[in-house]
Amino acid sequence: RERGGDLVFLTSTAAHDTYPGGGGYVAAKHAERIIANTLRQELVGEPVRVIEIAPGMVRTEEFSLNRLGSQEAADRVYEGVAQPLVAEDIAEAIVWTLERPSHVNIDSMIVRPVAQATNTLVARTAPEA
């Protein structure tokens, strides 16, 4: 704490809003967000930045597969979505927050693809016949 540092919390848009079927995930991400908010208050005045990055729809090889249990179900999450985010997009956002001058803290950054307005409102093209 005396030397300063950065704490980065990778939450989710689920930490900021709910959606049907996401009870456990939403609760965990809300809790993680509140831990970051609490630490920010407990460490105020110390040279420690507390940063939350909250991604929306990010297409990775494992996340939806692990969460939903099948490749078919995982593929449906991104079906018809033009350019969902990818892991590199989030990595770049994290790096950007850490590269700010030491007196600048990015409290919370929500990152979504253009096709996603909320956790449940996503623009999709019609499936190909």
Give the residue numbers annotated as catalytic, written as ranges.
25
Could you give the CA distance from residue 6 to residue 19 in angstroms, rounded to a whole number?
30
**Which residues share a beta bridge with 53?**
10, 109
Question: Who contacts 110 (Cβ-Cβ below 8 Å, separation ≥6)?
Answer: 13, 16, 54, 56
**Which residues share a beta bridge with 7?**
50
